Amino acid sequence: MIKYGMFKGIYHGKQYHAADIAAVLSRAWSAGVQRIIVTGGSLEESREALKIAETDGRLFCTVGVHPTRCKEFEESGDPETYFQALLSLTKEGIEKGKVVAVGECGLDYDRLHFCPADVQKKYFEKQFELANATKLPMFLHMRAAAEDFCGIVERNKQRFCAGVVHSFTDSAEDRDRLLLFSNLYIGINGCSLKTAENLDVVRGIPIERLMIETDSPYCEIKNTHAGIKFVKSVWASKKKEKHDEQCIVKGRNEPCLVRQVLEVMAGCKGITDINQLSETLYHNTCRVFFPQDLDSAADALLAGSHVLDEKN
């Protein structure tokens, strides 16, 4: 999964360098990434995500409202009109073969200063209408809100086909609550791999319920993270002030670095066949977001081993 502001060269509202999305995508394809999903966090962001997705056959997107942005429903002056605009955009994107999920939506109680819990809950639940109407899976966000999140998912579990709770950073107890929903996967990125406790939690996620991602440009694996000891792949980097398209920008995550997440997952789970793990995780992703592309060979593999797969 990818978000896009910094790939225009803009950091905290200041322009540091020219847009370099072409170079970023080139590194991703060279690293073996096959598809990228650009995530929408509001109506306007979702419109932009669709425009970006239309520039390359390997790019796709989501439509939805992030929990910290849910006040936009009411600040628009007419929440239902705002919702109908989301629905219309989603249908447009489906017709173009580009919109593959509803989201990013969910609950974030770590950042209630952006949006109060009651507003988050109201419009998280509302977005299940979007999933139900379009039959799309969901790209979900849960931060320090497991009880309310799981309660809403339980009430609406018949209204969506599948989903991933991405960028998971919560406890083993919260992990196990999510795994009780047979149609939910757990998404892991650098933010999920910061501490030894995080690694212990990740070890307990069955591979068949796992996805990996970058959440670019955020959630890179840093040298201070517990997972760094398993990282083998490195790219040359420079500070944004000394931007060079041939290098990644220090402190800015990008899609090619999903390889590092894969390496940490293999390392902390004691898996030596990293290519098989990659195939398994990629299959998980296809089952949720690209089910039409699962060929007979992949289905035969699934039937024989009861293993699924992905890579973002």
Each residue's pLDDT tens digit, 20-38? 999 999 999 999 999 999 9
Annotated binding site for a divalent metal cation: 104, 141, 166, 215
Q: Please provide the CATH number assigned to the domain covering 16-39+100-292.
A: 3.20.20.140
List the beta strands (DSSP E) in 111-222: 138-143, 163-166, 184-188, 210-212
pLDDT > 90: percent of the chain: 88
DSSP state of 40: P
Phi, psi of 310 (to 5 degrees): -170, 165
Q: Report how far residue 13's alpha carbon sits from residue 66's, in angstroms, rounded to the nearest whole number.
A: 20
- Cα 121 to Cα 9, 70, 278: the distances in Å are 34, 9, 35
**Does the pTM exceed 0.95?**
no
User: Nearest CA to 201 among 268, 145, 255, 148?
Assistant: 268
- Cα 27 to Cα 7, 14, 165, 236, 246: the distances in Å are 13, 25, 26, 12, 9
Summarize pLDDT for 234-269 with one digit per residue, the tens. 999 999 999 999 999 999 999 999 999 999 999 999
pLDDT band at 307, cuts 50/70/90? very low
Annotated binding site: 104, 141, 166, 215
Residue 7 pLDDT more than 70? Answer: yes
Residue 206 pLDDT more than 50? Answer: yes
What's the whole-number mean pLDDT along residues 112-133?
98
